[in-house]
Amino acid sequence: MESNTAVLDVNGARCASCSFAIEHMGRKVPGVEEVRVYPDSQEIHVKYGGDPAALEAIIRIVSRLGYEARLRTGE
């Protein structure tokens, strides 16, 4: 299976427990191989199988946790 990577910009998730929650729940999304949150740069790096629904699911997870995330485009 070919892997894709994406970067999401996240607002508000600056602590270790925020990062852990996003990473833990994000890894349960079908098609997601890895999720890394970088609080200092306010980024989420996602390695996934290519289905955009996986990224949308992570954005919904972040929203449910009380933060805001969006897919970084144009890089």
CATH label of the domain that carries residue 48: 3.30.70.100
Sign of CA dihedral 38, 39, 41, 44: positive
> Residue 5: left if φ>0, alpha if ψ -120 to 50, beta else—which one?
beta
Domain count, the chain: 1
Report if residue 8 sits inside a domain: no
Full residue range of the structural domain in which residue 51 is found: 13-68
Q: pTM of the predicted model, to two decimals?
A: 0.91
Tell whether 50 is covered by a domain.
yes
Which residues fall within 8 angstroms of residue 16, CB to CB, at 6 or more apart? 39
Rounded average pLDDT over 40-56: 96
Would 40 be classed as within a structural domain? yes
pLDDT tens-digit map of 58-70:
999 999 999 999 9
| Amino acid at site 55 | L
- DSSP tag of 28: T
Report the percentage of the chain scoring pLDDT > 70: 96
